[in-house]
Structure 1
Amino acid sequence: MLASAQREAVHLEMRDTYTPDDPCYVEWQKSRIIDVDTHWQEWRDEVRNTVARGVAIRRARIVSQPVTEFIRYEYELTSPLNVAAGEQVRWLPRDQASGLTLPGNDFWVFDDHLVRFTFFAGNGEYVGEELATDPALIKLCTTAFEAVWQQGIDHSKYQLD
């Protein structure tokens, strides 16, 4: 869907654990080494190509503190992968999100006309997704994202501990 974006793609992540069996995460748990070239080259290239076309990609993460092991992994992955590819990333501690109205699931919004909700099981396993074009859902998601973005801390300034 990034390939079809013309102006902007925004992504809101609100969970503390994702895909616990992901090979890159499992490898990181053992070695604490991030190898973006082996595991993430396709994603990095897609983001770079999208940004090169003039599309802004922004990602915001609402996280519990102290962070989970998976969020620590994401944090360590963010600079060499997301930021290096051209994404803008902000973090919002969960205790600062209490006054925000948020959808029940993580999502992407593409050019303010398409929402992709992503569903996860309680343990973080991916279980599916849903596309929506309902203007009310799009407005809910874009408004929620912008509220998180406004309060969020840029990745370059966010500290885990």
Structure 2
Amino acid sequence: MSIRRIKVLSEPSSEYMRHALDVAGHLVNAGEDTRWLPRRQTSDLLLPGNDFFVLDGEVVIFNVLDGDDGRAEQQLWTEADVVEQCRSAFESAWARAVPHRDYHSA
């Protein structure tokens, strides 16, 4: 099993995101492939409005956040067109994102 994760972040990074960068180092050392994508580089990407996970290319889970960035709802989608849109969006962002070991926070 492989886990690939993209974190979209604003620069300069908030204290929370600087902490996330530190934690991600441990996840990368454990085998997760994490990349960072500065928000200013996403304007021409068609990304879903909510954080999401694509599982085995067959299921999408959206995390809908509330005003305090807490999870308000989780949505599970299996419709092929939604899964493909999210898979394609992820791959486009992945190609542009910077591997964790190469990213230097602004």
Alignment TM class, shorter chain as reference: over 0.9
Structure 1: 5+ residue runs without aligned partners? Answer: 1-54
Q: Match for residue 152 of structure 1?
A: 97
1:126 deviates by: 1.5
Question: 2-side partners of 1:70 and 1:145: how far apart?
Answer: 23
Question: 2-side partners of 1:137 and 1:69: how far apart?
Answer: 33
1:69 deviates by: 1.6
User: What aligned pairs does 1:7-156 form with structure 2 within 5 A after superposition?
Assistant: 55-80=1-26, 82-156=27-101
Q: Which runs of 4+ in 1 moved over 2 A?
A: none
Question: 1-side partners of 2:99 and 2:31: how far apart?
Answer: 14
Structure number having the greater helix percentage: 1
Instruction: With the length of structure 2 as denominator, give the TM-score of the two structures.
Output: 0.95
1:127 deviates by: 1.2
Question: 2-side partners of 1:69 and 1:119: how far apart?
Answer: 22
Structure 2: 5+ residue runs without aligned partners? Answer: none
RMSD over equivalenced CA pairs, Å:
0.9
Instruction: With the length of structure 1 as denominator, give the TM-score of the two structures.
Output: 0.64
Q: Which amino acid aligns with 2:32?
A: E
1:85 deviates by: 1.9
Aligned length: 106
1:56 deviates by: 1.4
SS of equivalent residue, structure 1 residue 56: coil
SS of equivalent residue, structure 2 residue 34: strand
Question: 1-side partners of 2:30 and 2:53: how far apart?
Answer: 18
Aligned residues: percent identity?
A: 37
Structure number having the greater strand percentage: 2
Question: 1-side partners of 2:56 and 2:17: how far apart?
Answer: 27
1:89 deviates by: 0.4
Q: Which amino acid aligns with 1:77?
A: V
